Structure 1
Amino acid sequence: MSVDWEPDPSDSLKTFGAFVQALREHHGHTREQFAPLVRFSVHTVASIELGRRMADEVFVERADEVLGGTGALLRAGKHLSRQPGLASWFRKWAGLERQAVSLSIYECRLVPGLLESEPYVRAVFGESIPPLADEQLEAQVIARMDRQRLLRERPNTSFSFIIEEAVIRRELGGPEVTRAMLDHLLENMRLRNVVVQIMPLSSRHHACLDGPVQLVELPDGRRLAYSEGQQSGRLISDGKEARLLHQRYATLRSQALSPADSEGLLERMRGAQ
């Protein structure tokens, strides 16, 4: 399964979404009228109201102001969680991503979730064991695609990705999914705050043989890391251990193809599809 799995919608998300919808309808707004007032898309508003997406602080504040300014939504928003009993390391890491000065991800299994195209996301969750119900799969797809807003909503955050060449060559989901994935990767590589490097199969050296890792640098200078296995994840806040992982990632960047050479490789792979 992917390194950054999003849990199913929780009861708190559904309850909050129903509360937003009730207040919106009480004030006589359709979703199409309400969306520009809070400066979010109609799709995002619908996802929140249906409990498929966790509302962030900006949405809660704007919605509360538009819907009477009573503070009711602000209070309700404090009790939101994606899933009852969700591990604290996941909630913490998701919050750290939104604060990051820089976010670095090495992945050797799948394309990182922040870079996945929608067909690829569907292919990933389509491989879940046990299989997901249609509603569960759709919820996962929506959550994954919504999370990708980070790349464009945080233009001052530096995003660095190193992906194993074998991940792309695996063609998860088939040739058409791979073509769409390559197009999506190349598009994201043109963002000024995104750097993507490919770790070639031909490399004789590799600094991250212990597996995938995510690294974050915060505004206060702290450097943290996150590591995940099959059924568990771990937020690494120990300074010595986090520094070691940051050091390994820095070495891996020097071993991977340059951004320009990585782009060239992906373009050649796209042309061969």
Structure 2
Amino acid sequence: MANGIDPSTSMAALFGARVRRLRTAAGLTQAELGRMTHVVSTRITQIERASGARPTLELARTLDAVLGADNLLVELWPYVYREAFPDWSRAFMAYSERAVSIGEYAAHVVPGLLQTEAYARAVLSVGLTLSSDTQLEERVTARMGRQGRLGSTDRPALWVVLDEAVLRRPVGGRAVMREQLERLLEAAAEPHITVQVLPFDQGEHDVMGGSLTILTLPDGSEVVYTEGAHHGQLIEDPAEVRRFSVTYDRLRAAALPPLMSLDMIRSVMEDNPRGAKVPSRSERRRVAQEQLQQSGGRQLRGGGRRVPRRRAGP
């Protein structure tokens, strides 16, 4: 325990304990380390004591290089960074890292897991809580880092339903948006990723006010995250989760089938004003039900009712 600070109390405390241990091993004083990393010695004191502002990503990288930490401090930094978020937000991030499948409906922008760096920077730059360019780069880095799980051995299945507005809004300008649409097409080619588009002609639906994410955990339980322009809510109550699960099933059934969705994405990317041919609702429902059955999803009846699987045993 360094200077009476218990490293198990927080990630900031753990980060500070590692900095102090590395600094001591290198035979440096706090003042010397401060000069080498271009910060005042009191900043090093704050980091080691987990007091004051959390270290920036740039400072974490500098400390790592100066102390020869072999990327340890850089790898710890995202966890320190997350502690600035509300409890429900950190809980959602933790659930996301464990999820075996992720279902998302995006009303306004491409989900973070599929964003390009340029698109993410454009989206994050308009946040009301953004205070500096450094904070923007930290958020972009954290978002890009979370995408790594899609390429890991324990990668989750990802099913994304995009409102047509997501495709039509040129976030970051046309060049950035074209790159983003190309990214969607590339992602949809992966066997564990499905992308659908909910066209404008579908009309009103239950999630018009924001976005929806459903996470399925290793034990089969589910949690839901809903998000609006300036708020988010984590939902764990089983009854509420089931209600949102049915809503998501209905969105998938109403959306264009995956292949037709990709046609629409290509059409928008190529700036084709006529767009892809949109099939009738009955045809979309038929194709969607077949796809859900093939993917092991829930079967849908007319009117959007869910037919639960029969479970063995009591």
TM over 0.5: same fold? yes
Task: For 1:1-273, list aligned pairs within 5 A.
Answer: 11-12=12-13, 15=16, 18=19, 49-50=73-74, 53-54=77-78, 82-84=81-83, 86-129=85-128, 131-154=130-153, 157-204=156-203, 206-272=205-271
CA contact (8 A) 1:102 1:159 kept: yes
Relative contact order, higher structure (CA 8 A, sep 6+): 1
Instruction: Say if 2:82 and 2:90, in contact at 8 Å, map to a contact too.
Output: no
Deviation at 1:231, TM superposition (A): 4.0
CA offset at residue 12 of structure 1? 4.9
Quote how far apart the aligned CAs of 1:132 are: 3.6
Q: Secondary structure at the match of 1:148?
A: helix
CA separation of 1:20 and 1:85: change in aligned 2, threshold 3 A: same
**Letter of the structure 1 residue corresponding to residue 220 of structure 2:** G
Q: Which amino acid aligns with 1:126?
A: S
Give the TM-score, by structure 1 length.
0.71
Following TM superposition, by how much is the alpha carbon of 1:129 offset from its aligned partner in structure 2, in angstroms? Answer: 3.0
Question: Could you say if the C-alpha distance between residues 23 and 124 of structure 1 is closer, same or farther in structure 2, counting changes exceeding 3 Å?
Answer: farther
Distance 1:209 1:230, change over 3 A: closer
1:182 maps to a residue whose letter is L
Deviates more, 1:99-108 or 1:247-256: 99-108
Query: Given that residues 52 and 143 in structure 1 are in contact (C-alpha distance below 8 angstroms), is that contact kept between their aligned partners in structure 2?
Result: no
Instruction: State the distance in 2 between where 1:145 and 1:129 align.
Output: 20
State the percentage of identical aligned residues.
30
- Hey, what's the Cα distance between the residues in 2 that align with 1:258 and 1:25? 59
Residues 161 and 252 of structure 2 are in contact (CA less than 8 Å); yes or no, is this contact kept in structure 1? yes
Cα separation, partners in 2 of 1:84 and 1:179, compared to 1, 3 Å: closer
TM-score, normalised by the number of residues in structure 2: 0.62
State the alpha-carbon separation in 1 of the partners of residues 229 and 140 from structure 2.
Answer: 20
Unaligned runs of 5+ in 2: 1-10, 28-68, 273-314
- Structure 1 residue 214: Cα displacement: 0.8
Distance 1:17 1:175 in 2: 45
Give the distance between the partners of 1:141 and 1:99, measured in 2 at CA.
Answer: 22
Q: 1:25: how far off?
A: 7.8
Taking a change above 3 Å as real, the CA distance of residues 108 and 142 of structure 1, as seen in their structure-2 partners, is: same
Inter-CA distance 140–156: structure 2 relative to 1 (3 Å threshold): closer
Cα contact 2:198–2:256 (8 A) shared by 1: yes
Aligned residues: 221
State how far apart, in whole Å, the 2-side matches of 1:124 and 1:16 are.
35
1:15 aligned partner, one-letter code = G
Letter in 2 for 1:264: D
Q: Over the residues paired in the alignment, what is the CA RMSD in angstroms? A: 3.0
**8 Å Cα contact 2:100/2:216 also seen in 1:** yes
Aligned in 2, Cα 1:220/1:11: closer, same or farther, shift over 3 Å? closer
Residue type matched to 1:253 in 2? R
Counterparts of 1:212 and 1:173, CA distance in 2: 20
Residues 142-151 or 92-101, more deviating: 92-101
CA deviation profile, 1:31-58 (whole Å, cap 9, x unmatched): xxxxxxxxxxxxxx987635784269xx
CA-to-aligned-CA distance 1:52-101 (integer Å, 9 cap, x gap): 84269xxxxxxxxxxxxxxxxxxxxxxxxx35563221121111112112
Maintained 8 Å contact 1:226/1:234: yes
Does structure 2 conserve the Cα–Cα contact (< 8 Å) formed by 1:199 and 1:256? yes
Q: Cα deviations across residues 203-229 of structure 1 (Å, max 9, x unaligned)?
A: 135343343111111121212111233
Equivalent-residue separation in structure 2 for 1:148 and 1:223 (angstroms)? 21
Partner Cα distance (1:224, 1:155) in 2: 19
1:33 alignment partner in structure 2: none
The aligned counterpart of 2:49 is none
CA distance in 2 between counterparts of 1:228 and 1:269 reads: 26
Distance 1:240 1:14, change over 3 A: same
Give the Å deviation of 1:232.
3.4
Range with greater deviation from structure 2 (231-240 or 213-222): 231-240
Q: Find the aligned partners of 1:24 and 1:158 in 2 and give their Cα distance.
A: 44
